[in-house]
Structure 1
Amino acid sequence: MNTTSPYIREAQLADAEALAKCIDAAYAKYADRISDLPPVSEGCAEEITNNQVWVAVDAGTIVAGLVLIPKTAFMKVANLAVHPDYGGKGLGGKLMDISEREALRQGFKEMRLSTHCQMPENIQLYTHLGWQEISRAGNTISMRKFICCQ
């Protein structure tokens, strides 16, 4: 990692492969822990084409990504991934700030996401950022956050 902060920009189709590698690295620590972990990096090109995707770039390398999907009544955070070399430096929080600003800009007052019960680090981050658990189904935890006028 270089000494300059990563910058965040909207993803481009050419970012798909690098974003997939970043997502794989971010979820690698969960592979042994979670037997029902879905293939989280599949379809990055489709995500970039069909949804709202941001990436954090450092020295030309994608080190984090965010996927947002507008739904009828809320904005869904479909994926937040930070490369482990960049974890704990506030990058996840910065991407979540972008998600809230985008949701508000598009007229949403509610955001939702799903995470896995065996990802306590994620649950802790989301709770710290004001998210609340609304349901559990199997290993899936659904969370929600109401947002307004930031």
Structure 2
Amino acid sequence: MENIRIRQAQAADQRAVWACVRAAYSKYLVRMGREPAPLHADYEALIAQGVVYVLANEEEVRGVLVMMSWERSLLVENVAVDPRFQGQGLGQVLMAFVEQQGRKEQLDEIRLYTNEVMTENLRFYHKLGFEEDGRRVEDGYHRVFLRKGLR
């Protein structure tokens, strides 16, 4: 991967973060019948909190990650890869970074959730060793909760 790295997002990245997330989730609009939750996030505030990371080269943002410590876990709120770059393993690179950060912070596990109609995501996370931890409706979204131990 040519000069691609993961770094903490800066205020100047806000527009690129939004564009990447919008592009990544657009395929789910019809399937869900509504906008996915990540399209309603306040990326300006999240970037200011220091919980947004970008996978980027010098020219463009190719992926976005939103994660934060929560109890003894690392909570992944969002993983998005621009559709132009999907299928190149960038999602795996972002998730490996999550795991690395969780181990560095000596946390017990990684937690995340996805919508039940995002079946590609469920397969992806299961392939990475995540186990389903429950399903419930939150804010009108049918979510599947997953976890992966770090110990």
Residues 1:30 and 2:28 are matched in the alignment: yes
Instruction: Give the match for residue 80 of structure 1.
Output: 79
Structure 1, unpaired ranges of 5+: none
Q: Tell me the distance in 1 between the aligned counterparts of 2:58 and 2:16.
A: 13
Within 5 Å, give how 1:1-150 maps onto structure 2: 4=2, 6-41=4-39, 42-138=41-137, 139-148=142-151
Name the Cα RMSD after superposition.
1.6
Q: Tell me the distance in 1 between the aligned counterparts of 2:10 and 2:43.
A: 10
Q: Tell me the distance in 2 between the aligned counterparts of 1:141 and 1:61.
A: 31
> Deviation per CA, 1:84-133, whole angstroms, max 9, x where unpaired?
11111110000001111111111202110010110011111100000000
Work out the percentage of aligned pairs sharing the same amino acid. Answer: 32
> Deviation per CA, 1:36-75, whole angstroms, max 9, x where unpaired?
4444133111111114221111451111010111111211
Does the 8 Å contact 1:51/1:67 carry over to 2? no
Give the TM-score, by structure 1 length. 0.90
Does the 8 Å contact 2:25/2:36 carry over to 1? no
Aligned length: 146
Over 3 Å off, 4+ runs: 36-39
Does the 8 Å contact 1:51/1:68 carry over to 2? no
105-114 or 3-12: bigger deviation:
3-12
Structure 2, unpaired ranges of 5+: none
